[in-house]
Structure 1
Amino acid sequence: MKFITSAFSTLILVAGVLGQSAYIETPTKGNSVTAGTSLVIDVVRPNTISSSVEIGIAIGIASCAASRCYSAAETLGTLLYNGIFNPQYDAKPFETGQYQPHQEITVQIPEDFTKGDAQINFAHFFLLGASLSPTVETSSVSVEVK
């Protein structure tokens, strides 16, 4: 019986953490980005049921033109942004269509970045729950660099 209780508690905890994961909303999978130009990346942090303290994020871009794409947990690639993450609600969500806290971050795609398939990688560091457990989550979105 204790095993079932422990397993269920772990499952609930994992589901709670996964349900509040931050993610890149734009650009979306398959979008084209242009080397040498700026790009607005919209990072969403859904409402959470647990208390959390934001520490920061890092965003990078990795070429997948000559080899497979690696997960964001393995590499961020060329670093585009690292710093404060302070997602906010839009003042007029009905006009913008954005109902979750988010932050738009403008980055510069390097002029000499390899053209072709690429991946924008994202790492998010925060403190979770009443015990403020250090937590890192990663995600990515596939794009094409022109």
Structure 2
Amino acid sequence: KVMKKASFIGVSTTTTFYLLCGCLGYAAFGNKAPGNILTGFGFYEPFWLVDIANLCIIIHLVGAYQVFSQPIFSAVETWITNRHPNINFLNHDRVLVIGKCFRYKINLFRLIWRTLFVIACTFIAILMPFFNDILGFLGAVGFWPLTVYFPTEM
């Protein structure tokens, strides 16, 4: 119940900011609204400030991708393991021992599925010629399950 409330607040806040930026930008500039708000108005000086802002955006996107992908990973893994409960590859964790100190539990299905998902998202992003399209795709992939599908299933 607490996580549901926190998720609702986080998604509502994000939705509000995205809608404000999108609607106000479109109202002000129409179809000529710049994709990159930092450099869209000719603001290239100082370069270090634009570079730091772009670095912050990259850090945000890497973290957001991790957070928004987790419900998709969980849904697929739960569906597969419930559908095939007797397959050892899907349900068994293997122990990887490195030296005398480190022991890791690895589920090979989870490792392969998540790796293939990231590769597929990366490949789709490479096929898109513009960075803004990539951001829109990643936002749609991560935002829809969190705001539409999973709240109705909880």
The TM tier, using the shorter chain, reads: under 0.3
Hey, which of these two has a bigger chunk of helix by percent?
Answer: 2
Hey, which of these two has a bigger chunk of strand by percent?
Answer: 1
The TM-score normalised by the length of structure 2 is: 0.25
Determine which structure has greater relative contact order: mean sequence separation of CA pairs < 8 Å that are 6+ residues apart, divided by chain length.
1
The TM-score normalised by the length of structure 1 is: 0.26
Rg larger for: 2
